[in-house]
Structure 1
Amino acid sequence: MTLPRIAVDAMGGDEGVRVMIDGAAEARRRHDKFQFLLVGDSARIEEALKAHPNLRSASEILHCDDVVGGDEKPTQALRRAKTTSMGLAVNAVKQGDAGAAVSAGNTGALMAMSKLALRTMPGIDRPALAGVMPTLEEDDVVMLDLGANTEADTRNLVQFAVMGAAYSRILTGRQKPRVRLLNIGTEDIKGTDALRDAATQLQDASALDMSFDGFIESDKINRGEVDVVVTDGFSGNIALKAIEGAARFVTDLLKSAFTSSLRSKIGFLVSRPATELLRHHLDPNQHNGAVFLGLNGVVVKSHGSASADGVANAVAVAARLLENKLTERISHDLGELDARMWAGTAPAQPEADPVSGESTS
């Protein structure tokens, strides 16, 4: 069975075409039923494909030599959506030429282009950027929003919870993912009105396929006690950067400690299997691939600095979401929401600028 094609923005990312093609080739080895649409400079793509005949036989090239800059404003990038590799990759999903798009380019531009081209799903006011992070347990934790919306009201937070739970069920296989709202405390009186109201609505929505039990503080995100953490994009992006920074701090501290003396170097050799496991677990490439949830199509954002391994993981995320029909799952779950939950509430008005800018790279 041939599954939908994945459009890869081969020009996005800090490392350029070679890493994107190497990553797509690795993903092709993992998911050999998928076909690819490689968007970018055809000469450079063809050159990179010489080392990957398996990918070449499963790919079509869409030539484009215009690239969205890493520091380009989303509004500027939108004007060139029809001529850039990022815009054409997203448009392939809109036109049905691909089932998903993957880019390591400018996050703000990708969000703006995706939202304009694909629009939000019925029942969703604003899309959210969802990523996964490692925990002390076997399964990763899904966190959203990571930067698509600087503010979120009660309605947004409940929708984020529904979308995050659908994503988590694909990742973990758990029928009722454990969902929590990120807050400054776990007591019912803590947090903003929007947080407290969202908690009340989620507790009353027994028809939803999730296990909701209030709030979680940021120091518990990676403990393995929760499957989905829901927050606004401002708080979520700060929490994500803090966690990533702490992980780098730990690995750098260990490296410094193990090279400080001869005795430390001997200790490193003895403990190397454990330290290598830690390094692998904290490596962002192993958890690469944030998803724009709530759109009429699958769009995955790779870290701009991702290695070929990281790009492969981002493409694998897109493949898995297509295989498990993520958008259909979210539509079904939204249908389970009691219409009375929204009685007397008006849909949130879109912001003038639909994105908050770069958030994951």
Structure 2
Amino acid sequence: MTTLSEGKVKVKTLTMRQAINEALSEEMERDTSTILFGEDVGKFGGVFGVTQGLHEKFGPRVFDTPIAETTIVAAALGMAITGGLRPIPELQFGDFVGVAFDEVFHKLGKWRWMHGGQMEIPVTLRLPVGIAGGAGPEHSQSPQAIFMHAPGLQIVVPSTPYDAKGLLKAAIRENNPVLFFEHKVLYDVKGEVPEEEYIIPLGKADVKREGSDVTIIATALQVHTALNAAKTLSEQGVEAEVIDPRTLAPLDMETILASVRKTGRVLIVHEEPKTGGCGAEIAAQIADEALFDLQAPIKRIGSPDVPIAQSIYLEQFYRPSEQQILDTVKELMEY
């Protein structure tokens, strides 16, 4: 479990927006080959304010692009393999990674291997995702699970400012492509971040809360929903262990399986549609490796398999709720 208190580490409180901005700034200071570009990331500072001040600080190394996702990703690939650069492209809304699907799915993930390992592809593609404020069916999705089916890509999904900064710094230094998914609602979430330099290695899950009765595996915003539900469950005599995978590829099954074998009950929660979401793969691997350690069936909660509503009143019914978690855990405990 990540703990920063106890006076051992000097910390400051940042929003996730500020933590990502700090990571970008520090890495661009450290390595002059690092560049940042995308739609409105320059003088405007990004549609979500994440890149505020970076254009003023780094000048032409932070620049705007047309609304052309295919070109953004393709340019990043070309810069990485021919220009000796370490690009950090941003797609203003992660949904539109679909426009650049060929460049991401085929080229970013496969070209190093197709060319006998002769090239490195140090591209970190930033992708804001998630249901937030009535943005509708094409600006509210969480498409990260699609890329679990794409060998060669690493997938990061942070849930806290601490994780976002440490994981982004690791992603930028990585010599292989990383998709960095940022939930838009989490930009305003505050948390403690060390004042000193730190890196969180990719592929290491975090136990956000320890427990003995049921394992709740959650990603992005749903980590916070799960933690809130765990507090209520504790008052009812049920101790839930909450695990945040943090990266979906590589996926830290060792930490997940250790928890499952301890509790014997599993609930997986994510905002992606339930069908084919990351929970499906996690559940399959648990069934493969720990079926006889289970005391109840593996349960999943995800969004319904329909396009996300434009209405701010209807969209709330797509996102998994604390009550759904409480009801499902009650069902698990009855086995």
Task: Provide the TM-score with structure 2 as the length reference.
Answer: 0.31
Query: Which structure's residues are more often strand, by fraction?
Result: 2
Decide which structure has the larger Cα Rg and report it. Answer: 1
Task: Provide the TM-score with structure 1 as the length reference.
Answer: 0.29
